[in-house]
Chain A
């Protein structure tokens, strides 16, 4: 419960901080802010639904579907890509979003099932995008220290969270019998880590903008 409250407060604070400094954010980080706001409402909705109908799954279905295009948009703006790669990225994003939508409507029920398929697709997409971004960062390094680069925090947050998520779903059957409590601890903790890094990312972006 403490983790959930922390995540909700963190998302709320990050959203407000981002909205107040909206004009200072570059397009990629405006999309990140949108993702943060969506995640905040999804978490709040999840908490309400847990009390009302005993499950928070519907909010995660919606979040996982919306996160696919938002991550696509964020990385399309963060990494300079040629037209072909950009088209491929948008095409992949669109296909994955459509598949996630079909999965939610026809396969994994919004009420009964956790959207694991959607999250696996989102994880795969995000891990690939973070790796490509890391590679680009290595190829064309900035003269600023890593801790002052918004792209670094965003990438780290995504990389850690989505690798752990992918791992959890890959070994879910093995986990289920003996380590289910660990999963209930691991996922919120990695979420909290990711959202903290989102905050750092938006914060460093604002500082970067303030410094011209």
Chain B
């Protein structure tokens, strides 16, 4: 073999080897970078899809609640009102002894009609625009107090800023969910909602003196998961602090 042939034999593997190693390194690096980017895109799409699904679910729920509210107001409320009129008429025609019983029933019926109206108002999300978030929360907490579940203290609700209607409805439903959780699981005698405002952030602090739970071991129930997802949808942060026999505190921070 001549000198040039030997040189080629020496050079070709070196050049080819360097090329191959370079290609392998570039390929692997490119794959890893591309994969991470795709993972982020996929995650974003998945999140968008999840949020769209949740939004649809919430819209359907709002529609259903609105229908129930209308039914309560238009049907049950009307029937109860008719019964009230009939009882009023009957009470005039019967003997004095029986009148007391009818009057008692009338009082109960008045309470029922009031509760139906109050429940109907709280179920209908559209009422938020009519009455405002603060009034609606007050209406709900008044009802809870009257029903004897627990005492509710509201502080600084007037610090709540003006919010978009869709955010208001989320906050309102979240407050209902939280109070509902207190009724179902906390066994509390006192509950509270305080609003704190700091710079551009507004914090809603829900508290109760109930039995609490261990946040480190207990898996979050569907109610609390719902809250977290709703917070994510409106760009709010949620913090849940609780300990067994030491009550629960839920902070929702609006950014």
Q: Is the CB of B13 within 8 A of A171?
A: yes
Interface residues of B in 10-56 (CB under 8 A from A): 10, 12-13, 16-17, 20, 24, 28, 31-32, 34-36, 38-39, 42-43, 46
Residue from B16, B31, B32 with most neighbouring chain A CB atoms (10 Å): B31
Interface-forming stretch among A14-22, A24-32, A173-181, A203-211? A173-181
Task: For the complex formed, measure the closest distance between the CB of A24 and the CB atoms of chain B, giving whole angstroms.
Answer: 25
Check B95 for interface membership: any CB of A closer than 8 A.
Answer: no
Q: Would you give 25 A-B contacts (Cβ < 8 Å), ordered by A?
A: A134-B31, A137-B35, A138-B34, A139-B38, A141-B38, A141-B42, A143-B42, A146-B32, A146-B35, A146-B36, A159-B24, A159-B28, A160-B24, A167-B16, A167-B20, A171-B13, A171-B16, A171-B17, A174-B8, A174-B12, A177-B6, A178-B9, A178-B10, A178-B13, A179-B13
Task: For the complex formed, measure the closest distance between the CB of B196 and the CB atoms of chain A, giving whole angstroms.
Answer: 36
Report the Cα distance A177→B7, complex, angstroms.
11
**From B12, which residue of chain A is reached at the shortest CB distance?**
A174
Q: Is the CB of B10 within 8 A of A156?
A: no
Q: Is the CB of A143 within 8 A of B39?
A: yes
Instruction: Identify which of A138, A156, A159, A171 contacts B38 (C-beta below 8 A).
Output: A138
**From B28, which residue of chain A is reached at the shortest CB distance?**
A156
Q: How many residue pairs bridge A and B at CB < 8 Å?
A: 46
Q: Is the CB of B20 within 8 A of A164?
A: yes
Task: For the complex formed, measure the closest distance between the CB of B22 and the CB atoms of chain A, giving whole angstroms.
Answer: 12
- What 5 new A-B contacts, CB under 8 Å, besides A143-B39, A146-B36? A141-B39, A143-B46, A171-B12, A171-B16, A178-B9
Q: State which size class the interface on B falls in.
A: 20 to 34
Check A55 for interface membership: any CB of B closer than 8 A.
Answer: no
Listed in ascending order, the chain B residues whose CB lies under 8 Å from chain A are 6, 8-10, 12-13, 16-17, 20, 24, 28, 31-32, 34-36, 38-39, 42-43, 46
Residues of chain B within 8 A (CB-CB) of A171 are 12-13, 16-17
In the complex, the 4 A-B pairs of residues with the closest C-beta atoms, listed nearest first: A141-B39, A141-B38, A174-B12, A174-B13
Task: For the complex formed, measure the closest distance between the CB of B39 and the CB atoms of chain A, giving whole angstroms.
Answer: 4
Q: Is the CB of B20 within 8 A of A175?
A: no
Q: Is the CB of B20 within 8 A of A163?
A: yes
With A134-B31, A143-B43, A146-B35 in contact, is A163–B16 under 8 Å at CB?
Answer: no
**From A131, which residue of chain B is reached at the shortest CB distance?**
B27
Task: For the complex formed, measure the closest distance between the CB of A130 and the CB atoms of chain B, giving whole angstroms.
Answer: 11
**From B32, which residue of chain A is reached at the shortest CB distance?**
A146
Residues of chain A within 8 A (CB-CB) of B6 are 177
Interface residues of A in 153-212 (CB under 8 A from B): 156, 159-160, 163-164, 167, 170-171, 174-175, 177-179
**From B27, which residue of chain A is reached at the shortest CB distance?**
A159
